[in-house]
């Protein structure tokens, strides 16, 4: 079956999804030309969850992705039916479709140990919806303080390596655990 892919409120391409004895296969095609790292997500058909499928790569004159999820993986994800809604994210606010937002559910639960150890810092931001960013050093292949929310992070180069940045909405309140460390 073929489904459209949304990116920032607009149709950005299509994904062909096949269900077979081995699980699900995804083949996405987007005519976009960008330097952004775009991740393809599907909306869980039974829960208010978004599942990352993978990162699009240059293909032809646009971007593409070919991925397979085996039967075991789809079972672990709780997928009993094929997802029908897909979107792209570049890690910045505003990528998730508006109707998926749950303003009272910040992704902080899994981040509590990082707050306790002082590994996460707060970076204020200006804007109507964005309060700031939670940031932590990022080293590929090593444990990361923002691991519980890494798929929502943007990885940014710094003078000393990389930093993971998680956008934090004003409606979630400012995480006081991080301000105590400043």
Residue ranges making up the domain that contains 138? 109-179
**pLDDT at position 158, please?**
85
pLDDT above 60 for 154: yes
pLDDT at 113: 52
Q: Are residues 43 and 14 in the same domain?
A: yes
Tally of domains in the chain: 2
Encoding tokens for residue 168? 């934090």
Q: What pLDDT digit, counting tens, does each position of 30-69 carry?
A: 999 888 899 999 988 877 678 889 999 999 899 999 999 9
Final residue of a structural domain among 34, 58, 90: 90
* pLDDT for residue 9 is more than 60: yes
Identify the band that residue 2 occupies on the pLDDT scale cut at 50, 70 and 90: very high
Interatomic CA distance for residues 181 and 178, integer angstroms: 6
**Domain's final residue, options 56, 90, 124:** 90
Tell me whether residue 98 is in a domain: no
Confirm whether 117 is domain-assigned: yes
pLDDT digits (tens, 9 = 90+) for 167-182: 888 777 766 555 544 4
Strand partners, 11: 6
6 and 85 assigned to the same domain: yes
pLDDT digits (tens, 9 = 90+) for 85-140: 999 998 877 777 766 654 444 554 455 555 555 678 888 887 777 888 888 888 87
**What tokens were used for 51?**
């599942």
In angstroms, the CA 58 to CA 35 distance is 10
């Amino acid at each position: 079956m073929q489904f459209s892919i949304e990116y920032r409120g607009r149709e950005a391409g299509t994904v062909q999804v096949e269900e077979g004895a081995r699980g699900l296969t995804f083949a996405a095609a987007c005519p976009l030309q960008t330097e952004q790292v775009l991740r393809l997500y599907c909306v869980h058909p039974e829960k208010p969850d978004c599942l990352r499928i993978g990162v699009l790569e240059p293909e032809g004159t646009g971007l593409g992705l070919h991925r397979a999820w085996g039967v075991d993986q789809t079972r672990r994800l709780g997928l009993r039916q094929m997802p029908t809604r897909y979107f792209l994210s570049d890690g910045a606010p505003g990528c998730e479709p508006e109707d998926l937002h749950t303003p009272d559910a910040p992704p902080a639960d899994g981040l509590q140990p990082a707050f306790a150890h002082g590994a996460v810092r707060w970076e204020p931001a200006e804007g109507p919806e964005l309060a700031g960013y939670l940031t932590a050093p990022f080293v590929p292949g090593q444990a990361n303080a923002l691991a519980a929310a890494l798929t929502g992070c943007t990885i940014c180069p710094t003078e000393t390596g990389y930093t993971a940045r998680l956008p934090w909405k004003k409606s979630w309140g400012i995480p006081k655990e991080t301000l105590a460390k400043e």
